[in-house]
Structures are given as C-alpha cells and as structure tokens.
Structure 1
Amino acid sequence: MDKHHIRILITRFFENDFPKESVLKFQQWFIRKDDSVVKNEVLNELWEREEAETDSHTLLALDEINKRIGKNKKTVKLPLSQRLLRIASILLLPLIGGLLTYWVMHDQSGSSAPKMEIAEHVVPDGEMKQILLPDGSEVWLNAGSMLLYSDDLSGSIRRLFLSGEATFRVEKDPGRPFIVKTQYMQVEALGTTFNVRSYVDSGTAAVTLEEGSVRVDIDGKVKVSEVISPNEQFVYDHRQGKTSRLQVDAELVSRWKEGYLVFEEASFEEIIRTVERRFNVTVYYDVRKYGGGRFSVKYTPYEDVRQVLTILETLNPGLKWTANNNTIYIK
C-alpha cells in the first residue's frame, strides 16, 4: 500500500472517522509488520505536525508503558514508541494497548526488529469464535474482541493480550505461567477457567473465576494484587481508580459463549454496548434520560435484537424504540 493511502487510513482512524465495525479491522492491519516503515513515517509526521502538552496522567501512563515494555530508554531506540505519548495525548488512541503488547511479545534483547511471529484473532461485532491455543488451552472470544499471542506460545511464560471479552480454559503447566494482559490489568493462572472482560469503550474491566485460582494485578491509578476464588468477580473502574470484589455465579457470567446475554446489576450503557456488539447494530439514545439505574435480566440465545429491545422496554417505563436496518433509535 502506498504512503498516501496509509496516511488517509491512519488519519481517519485518529479522527474517529471509522465506523465501529471497521475499528478491529484497522487494528489488525496496523499491528502487522507490512509497510511498518511507512506507518512509522506517517506517525512521525503526526508527531511533528501536532502541538500538544501532556498532563500528569499521560506521563504516569508513559512511565507504566516503559516499565511493562521493559526497555531501557538510554540504550534502545524505539522511534515509534517514543512518539506514542504525544500521539496518545492528542488522539486518545484506543489501540495503544495492542501496539504495546505487540512490542512486549517481541524480543527484548535490545534490538527493535521483531523476532517472533504474532498470532492474531479478531472477532467483529455479531460473531463469536472458539480457539484452541498451541498449548492445548481453549479460548472463547466474544463479539468485538481481539486476541494476540506468539504463534507457538513457546517460552517460560505464556503471554497473551486481550481487548474485549474472552473465557479461558487453561491447560495446566506449572512451570509456565499463563498470563492475559489487557489495557488495565494482568491476570495470571496456572490451570483454571476464568472470564476476562476489558473493552476499550467501557469504564470497567472485570475478571470472573469459574474454577482454580488467578492473580489479578493492576498498576495504574491504584496498585493492587489480588488472588480471587471461584465464583468471585474482581472489577476495576479505571476512570475512578476503584476496585471491588463481588460474589457471582461464574458459570452464568460465561454463558455468553452459548449465546445467552446475562446482566446482573448492569448499567443501561453496558446493556446497550453489549447489544450493539452481539447483534452488530448501532443504538442511539439520550444518556441523560437513560444513564441511571441498574438492571438484572437474561436473554436466551434464540432472541433477536428486536425481542431484546422489547424486554428492555418493559424494564424502562416510557422507553420507545424504532429500527432502521442496523440502526436503533431509543426515545
């Protein structure tokens, strides 16, 4: 692809000019090594063109990034990553977590050249996917999710990056920890079944344990390291910097992989975003009117988006909706 078209793609994405169904496709293309030199040149141009100042949160985020990448800034040249601070402060780039993980999963001996291949699975809205990992572990990816890992999961640590939601059934290998990294947390398990939900457009990330044990680490606005037990859910509100532990039915939480939609004390926003991802639709509503309240409801795999909205209508007196193809309007 020539530089002109690459510049158009990147600029449109930074300006939030992509429809939501195209975002994951863009992320998948952007992290590939194809045309990496030209992509770097375009980001350099953005770096030089924009005038922006970082705040304390951005600087803390960069410090966290440097720690997680494990790079020594004095001896390693990473032109692209050196520009991410400014680009992120300007554009609030949602795929920054994916890019950083892409670098982390490559050789960290001091060479900026990638030394291993990355397997990537992108699940668009309206779909789900089951994956068998090279180590025998199983993963179910929910709609609107992306999973990255080294193509053979070799090495002393099995590292994966998740953006979205997935249920993991981990093959036991005590000598090789299994670590799932998301934008806001790290989850470590030796052999267990657990669910991770961490969408970039959500204010919270959650880990729910079905069996075994996992350790959840957060190094952001708060620094937390917690071991959770079966039927516990650990929730991190990254906007407020708060954490909580809830008692839940873990099997019920993971029933999305069977087609169910299950909400326990969920916000209206969370329900709508889940509906958008599940049915590949766009929903417009007045957040001031429907922003409050918590809801508990379960939808069966056989219900379509209209049936789901009809049930939601009964839970919200006065709610009315209309549909035009894949666009829903709530009044």
Structure 2
Amino acid sequence: MKENYIYQILKQFFVNSYPPEIESKVQKWIIKDKWSAEKNNAMSAIWDEIEIPPNDNTYRALDRVKNTIRQIESKKKHLKMRRILLGSAAVIIPVLLLLGSYFYINQDVKMIEVITSSNQQKQCTLSDGTTILLNSCTKIIYPSKFKDTTRVVTLEGEAYFSVASDATKPFIVKTSDLSVKVLGTKFNISAYPTNDRTITTLNSGKIQVNIQSKKTDSKYILKPNQEIVFNKIDKSVLINTVTDENASWKDGSLVFQDATFNDILNTIERRYGVTIDYNKQEFLNMPYTIKFLNNESLEDVLNILQEIVGGFEYKKENSRITIIQKGGKK
C-alpha cells in the first residue's frame, strides 16, 4: 500500500517545487531509518523512468544516497547523509523531497481493520460520515482519514453501505472479484471467499460495478432495486430486479434468492457458528429460493432445508454437522 502511494505521488508531482520549510522537514524525514526499503524501491522505480539522460556522477550520487539510507546508525552518519543529499544531482532531490513531503503530511493516517465473528454484526463509521454494517465473518479495511481523490475500502464478506455524498471523492469498495464505485448511495455487497457468487444489490442512488476476471473485464451501471450476480464458477454475470430483502440479514432473517446449496450451507455456518461437512459432488449445484424470516433455530433451518432440497440426512455432534446423501455411508 505504501509503495503504491509513493509511486503515485511521485509520478503526479515530480516537477513540483517546495518551500524551504517543507524541504527542511522532508530532509529530516529522509535521514530516518523508517521506511528505508520503501524509499529505495520508489527511487529506483522513478529513476528507471527518468527521460533525462543521467551521467556517471548522477548514478554515483544515487548509489551514495541509497547506501547511506540503509547504513544510517548514528548522528554523525545522519549529518553526512544530509550533506550528500544537498550535493546530489538535481534530478534526485525532487524525488526525495516529494517522498518525504507525502509521508510528513500523511503520517497520521492509519489503516483500520475490523473483523466480525460468527453470528456477529458490527457497525463502522468512517471519517467522511459513511456508515458500514458488517455481517458475520466479515473483514473490512479502511483508512482513518481520506486524503486522496478517492475513498477506497477493501471488503471480504458481506456489508451494507450508507455512503456519505461527496461528488469530488468517489467511494470505491474493492473485493477479490469486483469493485463498486459510488458518489453517495445505499447498497449491499456479499463477497465471501467460500461462496460461489459475489452479489451487489443497490437500494438507492447509482453505482458502477467493475468485474475483473480472465473471461470478463466489464463495467455495469445499476439502478435502485437491481442486483448484479457474478458467478465465480463459470464467470457469468446476471442483473436481476429485486427487493431490499437481499439485506434482510440486518434484521436477523435469512433469505436465499437462487442460491446454490454450497452458498446456503456457508451462510448457515457463519450464522450459527458451526462447521458443516458434506461432499459437494453428491449434490447438484442447482439454485434454491428459501426464506427464513422468524429467527428460526439451527435445527428448524436444517429440517426445512432437508424438505426442500431433499436427498440428504444429517447428524449433529456439538458444533459439527455432517450431511449425508440418502443411501450413502453414515
């Protein structure tokens, strides 16, 4: 994450100049050991892209700068480092100044990680006023402050977003299979790694969904009461008209709309904190639509599922459930 920000900042502002007070702070930051590896990597990447042909002196200057950053051990070497920087080729100084300037300004920004366990929900409020309600077994990562031209968070699991409107800073949610870009809206994303499908459902506003895979790299615009379903098995994409029941988990309900047997069992595991063993090859991967709206018990859910899906029996030992195809070995 740091390397990417360094690279972007340097590429965008490479030709800028800075006032003396900023230059002084940057130089103090440069001689510190912290992030020395990131500094080296960023300088090397930018050095390779420089269009101005450097001479032997500038190459030797760059080597001295990089070696000194790695070997700083005392105040004496700190002072020596400062002299080297001031005497280095002009093409190196702007790079270091920009690096230090960025980190000096953003040193108070921290990445926050929130994780929920089985049968747990948790709400997060971001610095811009956006609220996010996390479903069980979900992880989200976001910065303590948004200081870029976009607001980016990373999601693994399921969450309901109420995004604060800001036309100058689009809000982007990244998952392993897709990204969702909005300006201000309410929507739900289900992106569990173990599920067969990743689903984004829009309640209000407007969102753009980018799906990236080996078979597709497409953008879709959703309107309210639409959902986009990305099938991770065959890489297919469907857009359906729905109600807000796709976020019914917020009220404790379980609603499955054209869900695979595997996704249903994964949801049951997360809701009730159990482990379910079964042979996927013994069950057809056909879709099922089932609704549990009254906080049914685990046994009630399994019994109803047994009636609807059919073809299986189950046994429960503590928190482990074994599903067996009828006629199979017990």
Judge same fold: TM > 0.5, yes or no. Answer: yes
Are the aligned partners of 1:75 and 1:110 in contact in 2 as well (CA < 8 Å)? Answer: no
Q: Is the alpha carbon distance of 1:72 and 1:313 closer, same or farther for their aligned partners in structure 2, counting shifts above 3 Å? A: farther
Q: Is the alpha carbon distance of 1:73 and 1:247 closer, same or farther for their aligned partners in structure 2, counting shifts above 3 Å? A: farther
**Correspondence for 1:191 among 160, 184, 195:** 184
The code of the aligned residue for 1:236 comes to: F
Q: Is the alpha carbon distance of 1:202 and 1:316 closer, same or farther for their aligned partners in structure 2, counting shifts above 3 Å? A: closer
Are the aligned partners of 2:123 and 2:133 in contact in 1 as well (CA < 8 Å)? Answer: yes
Q: TM-score, normalised by structure 1?
A: 0.64
Aligned length: 232
Partners in 1 of 2:193 and 2:43 — Cα distance? 28
| Partner residue, 1:103 | none
Identify unmatched segments of 5+ residues in structure 1: 1-35, 41-70, 78-108
**Correspondence for 1:240 among 215, 231, 234:** 234
The code of the aligned residue for 2:320 comes to: T
| Partner residue, 2:225 | 231
Partners in 1 of 2:43 and 2:171 — Cα distance? 25
| Partner residue, 1:145 | 138
Query: C-alpha displacement at 1:131, in angstroms?
Result: 1.8
Query: C-alpha displacement at 1:301, in angstroms?
Result: 4.7
| Structure 2 counterpart SS, 1:176 | coil
In the TM superposition, 1:78-89 aligns within 5 A as: none
Query: C-alpha displacement at 1:200, in angstroms?
Result: 1.4
Q: Is the alpha carbon distance of 1:184 and 1:259 closer, same or farther for their aligned partners in structure 2, counting shifts above 3 Å? A: same
| Partner residue, 1:12 | none
Partners in 2 of 1:184 and 1:292 — Cα distance? 20
The code of the aligned residue for 1:248 comes to: V
Partners in 2 of 1:110 and 1:261 — Cα distance? 49
Partners in 1 of 2:307 and 2:291 — Cα distance? 13
Partners in 1 of 2:306 and 2:295 — Cα distance? 18
The code of the aligned residue for 2:227 comes to: Q
Are the aligned partners of 2:196 and 2:263 in contact in 1 as well (CA < 8 Å)? Answer: no
Q: Is the alpha carbon distance of 1:225 and 1:73 closer, same or farther for their aligned partners in structure 2, counting shifts above 3 Å? A: farther
Are the aligned partners of 1:265 and 1:295 in contact in 2 as well (CA < 8 Å)? Answer: yes
In the TM superposition, 1:1-331 aligns within 5 A as: 74-75=45-46, 115=107, 116-221=109-214, 222-249=216-243, 251-331=244-324
Q: Is the alpha carbon distance of 1:200 and 1:315 closer, same or farther for their aligned partners in structure 2, counting shifts above 3 Å? A: same
The code of the aligned residue for 1:241 comes to: K
Q: TM-score, normalised by structure 2?
A: 0.65
Q: Is the alpha carbon distance of 1:267 and 1:203 closer, same or farther for their aligned partners in structure 2, counting shifts above 3 Å? A: closer
Are the aligned partners of 2:196 and 2:260 in contact in 1 as well (CA < 8 Å)? Answer: no
Query: C-alpha displacement at 1:299, in angstroms?
Result: 1.1
Are the aligned partners of 2:124 and 2:131 in contact in 1 as well (CA < 8 Å)? Answer: yes
Residues 75-95 of structure 1 deviation map (CA, whole Å, 9 limit, x = unaligned)? 499xxxxxxxxxxxxxxxxxx
Superposed CA RMSD in Å reads 2.7
Residues 190-249 of structure 1 deviation map (CA, whole Å, 9 limit, x = unaligned)? 111001111112232121101110001123321101111111111222343322211111
Q: Higher mean Cα deviation, 217-226 or 255-264?
A: 217-226
In the TM superposition, structure 1's runs of 4+ consecutive aligned residues that sit over 6 Å from their partners are 109-114
Q: What is the aligned-residue identity percentage? A: 28
The code of the aligned residue for 2:156 comes to: S
